[in-house]
Structure 1
Amino acid sequence: MTQQGVRWTTDQVLALAPDVPSRKAGSRLGVAGPWSEAGSSGEGTVWGLCKGSGSKPYQTVVDIADATGAAGPAYKCSCPSRKFPCKHALGLLLLWATADGAVPDGQRQPPDWADEWLAGRRKRADAKGTSDAAPASPPADPEAVRRRAERRAERVTAGATELEQRLADLLRGGIASAEQTGYGLWEETAARMVDAQAPGLAARVRELGTIPSSGPGWPVRMLEECALLHLLDQGWLHREQLPDALAATVRSRMGLPTRAEGPAVRDRWLVLAQYDMADSKLTTRRIWLHGAESGRTALLLSYGAAGRAPALALPVGLALDAELTAYPGAGQLRADLGEQFGAPAPATSRPPGIRTEEAASRYGGVLREDPWLDSWPVTLSEVIPTPDATPDTDGWQLADADGSAALPITPSAASRPGLWRLVALSGGAPVTVFGECGHQGFTPLTAWPRGAGEAVALC
């Protein structure tokens, strides 16, 4: 994750935090006071002792550039926390990122307790490499695989048919009736979709159940979501009649597992954005990449159990020489990270941008291929964050520098601290902004100042 002599920024370190409390606690430990015997090998290892409430300090070590070539750093701390990275690992990395001499670089060898853990990691990495080189196990029986797929398809079809009946009952009774039935009925319907092995339908049903009484205009939003659910159901029930790419998209939206396929694309991939979405059971990390030569945009997904950060971590502002393999489906940008040809390094370029009108047009175009798409990644060039001039609103927008057009910033993004970071970065001057453009507006994720300057994460 680093090259010798190159240290991360504070934003890059905080992007590794599993949650907001860990980010705050780690920030408090990112000062020299509680640390002793801190050091760095200059080759991707940082260690130190952190004074805690007990008599013995916590032993903390971070392997940033691990020998396996994996994308994420590894952490070891003697504290009892079950979060990865813990606040001590975050604090140590923040102290190291300041480059003020508090963590000497390459001054000495790691202490025995850190060296022992690192040696164990190298040994396991070598063992894994040997295991990977061993002959692969015999492939599964194709006939058994086909029968399992058919049984699951039958369950999904039964779930889609049941959901169609539920939607028909709702429309016959009137959208207003959803306000009286409450959320419980939708949660029960979602559970039925889980039983039918259609997690994609279950997620959309749960979202549908949150719409009634959610504010002015909720019946319209309810009808829109019902229409999208009906379209997805019909797409599944008539999937044999769809083009292959659209049929693959329908299977993906239903929640059926798919695998990355096709030729791997090697490029120098710029990390555009990284952010997490969490619920009570799972943390999903979304990482957007842009290929410097191919011009392609790709999405990496990584998952972690509740309270644990996903393993894959690529802080904004880095670039990596690697291969990506895309998933099938029309309008799909998800890819798998393959072989990496060197450690990520600070990016020296930024993606090309477009105007706001073209961004909206691109989103509208991809909806033809994937009607269930909430947003599309775009980079806007020469835009200025300004208050929305629409009467009776307190929202914000990104306006082209010449004032010809603008995109509204989504309400959720307008309430985050990242908006004020963007406003401060702009200072009234045009900036380059990467984000997601959708039916609710534009969500800024990363920005670059006019002229030269490093990427600034906004999420």
Structure 2
Amino acid sequence: MNLNIEQVLALAPDSNAASAGRKLGVAASWKGLARTERALWGECQGSALYRVCVDPDTMASTCSCPSRKFPCKHALGLMLLAASSLGAFATGTAPPAWVLEWVERRAATAERKKEKEAEPAKAPDPAEQAKRAERRRQRVVKGIEGLELWMGDLIRQGLAQVEDRPAAFWEAQAARLVDAQAPGLASKVRRLGRYVGNHPQWPARLLGELGRIALLTHAFRRIDQLPPPLQADVRQLIGWSLPHEEVLASGEAVQDAWLVAGQSLFDEERFRVQRNWLVGTHTGRVALFLQFAAGTAAFPENMMPGTVFDAELVYRPSAFPQRALLRTDPAKARTPRAWSERLPGFDRTESFRIWYAEALALQPWLERTFACLRGVTPIRTGTACIVRDAEGGSLPLARADAWTLFALSGGEPIDLAAEWNGEALTPVAVVSAGEYHVIPAGAEDEEDA
């Protein structure tokens, strides 16, 4: 296990679990500490004696405590202790029965998953598929007709009249789109309400977003005239979801050593969503790997910022492919390795601007992408903050109180990993003096609008 403390803390489901885990990350809190190549374990005294075991390859963990958080504070504490003081774990000790049982159960689960994936899928009835697709298309068309009338009324009446509208005004139209089986459009309509009053130029922002929605509805009406990759984008943005199996079977596959260059968390209705931005260290390809979890449940994959792992990613069809799936092999464990080199990315901000302009020309509804900028210096200019490259080119930061970024920079050039929404950068990580640092969630959040 070669992860640092920041990378372990990135696994915490919330700040309270991270804080409690820190307190338990000392040898005095544990007894029976030991490790093998397949597991590290120990017992922690709380209101009871809790048994904790961690897989050092995948960072999966188990604990006998009743916590519903995953990983719990005890598992985090054990991982933090391993990250800071691996020598506290005895070697050459035979694993106790409860450790062996957990390791063998995980191996059996992986084997069953492998067998299930090898089973041939039942072929669907093409005729019935075509009927369902046509029924949905007709419902979506009717929903779009209603949406276009609604947007036309907004423009005719003037955007100033929406300032006093309650949230129910936007939700009612979104609900109609859900009924029309266009959940992607419904989500966009819900977000429209966030623009109102949240920025000095909110009418212009709202008008721009209405224009992008109108472009999307017009594109759907002419979808047969679009190139196949752009057709896939339009369908996905309207609300069609492509089954994972279909993506894995027909998507573009790229094998590489993938750096988890940045990560961000946000809530979406009933779920927590984790955005993982991966960069191929050989190909330079950028990939967005999304994960969803309800409540404080664990995400399916342990993606630790600042680590690199060997894997094959499969990109979803798109005119500008970003989102990708991980092709997993249950027989092979993904072993993350700590990253201490420079970020693969752009040395000039102008190069990034050109790259982004080309991406936007291919996919005009691109909401965000990822930027790895090398050798940039954070600078405060009046009430705003920017990052400037060695040639004087610059890009704005989403917030003016980017103190974490300034502290990590110390006035010197850094490698910056950030999300770009077309207007400003939201930093998620920094590589400075050969060390990878996660910028804590919420430290440099972009504005809601």
1:38–1:279 Cα change, 3 Å: farther
Q: Is the 8 A contact 2:255 2:310 kept in 1?
A: yes
Distance in 2, matches of 1:262 and 1:219, equals: 39
| Match runs of 1:97-112 below 5 Å | 97-99=83-85, 101-102=87-88, 104-112=89-97
Distance in 2, matches of 1:292 and 1:115, equals: 36
1:264-305 CA-partner distances (Å, limit 9, x unpaired):
221222221122222341111111222222221111111111
Distance in 2, matches of 1:139 and 1:131, equals: 16
Distance in 2, matches of 1:358 and 1:265, equals: 24
Match of 1:51 among 22, 40, 45: 45
Aligned counterpart, 1:18: 13
Aligned counterpart, 1:328: 317
1:327-375 CA-partner distances (Å, limit 9, x unpaired):
1011121111114666332346431433112222322221112222122
Aligned counterpart, 2:430: 447
Distance in 2, matches of 1:181 and 1:352, equals: 44
1:387–1:361 Cα change, 3 Å: same
Structure 2: give runs of 5+ residues left out of the alignment.
Answer: 441-449
Q: Is the 8 A contact 1:284 1:304 kept in 2?
A: yes
1:372–1:352 Cα change, 3 Å: closer
Distance in 2, matches of 1:354 and 1:375, equals: 20
Segments ≥4 residues shifted beyond 6 Å: none
Equivalent residue pairs, number: 431
SS of the aligned residue for 1:379 comes to strand
| 1:275 to 2:264 alignment | yes
Aligned counterpart, 2:140: 156
1:105–1:364 Cα change, 3 Å: farther
Structure 1: give runs of 5+ residues left out of the alignment.
Answer: 1-5, 66-71
CA shift at 1:407, angstroms?
Answer: 0.8
**Counterpart residue type for residue 399 of structure 1:** R
1:396–1:19 Cα change, 3 Å: same
Q: Is the 8 A contact 2:33 2:90 kept in 1?
A: no
| Match runs of 1:171-250 below 5 Å | 171-250=155-234
Distance in 1, matches of 2:219 and 2:385, equals: 37
CA shift at 1:387, angstroms?
Answer: 0.8
Distance in 2, matches of 1:345 and 1:221, equals: 42
Aligned counterpart, 2:444: none
Aligned counterpart, 1:305: 294
Q: Is the 8 A contact 1:7 1:99 kept in 2?
A: no
Match of 1:388 among 358, 377, 381: 381
RMSD after superposition: 2.1
Q: Is the 8 A contact 2:69 2:298 kept in 1?
A: yes
Q: Is the 8 A contact 1:270 1:320 kept in 2?
A: yes
CA shift at 1:175, angstroms?
Answer: 0.3
Aligned counterpart, 2:394: 406
Q: Is the 8 A contact 2:346 2:352 kept in 1?
A: no
SS of the aligned residue for 2:129 comes to helix
SS of the aligned residue for 1:283 comes to strand
Aligned counterpart, 2:438: 457
CA shift at 1:105, angstroms?
Answer: 4.9
Q: Is the 8 A contact 2:3 2:337 kept in 1?
A: no
1:195-233 CA-partner distances (Å, limit 9, x unpaired):
222221111111101222224222222211211111112
1:132–1:171 Cα change, 3 Å: closer
Match of 2:60 among 51, 71, 74: 74
Percent identity over the alignment is: 39
Distance in 2, matches of 1:268 and 1:127, equals: 27
Distance in 1, matches of 2:375 and 2:252, equals: 35
CA shift at 1:263, angstroms?
Answer: 4.2
**Counterpart residue type for residue 18 of structure 2:** R
1:117–1:95 Cα change, 3 Å: same
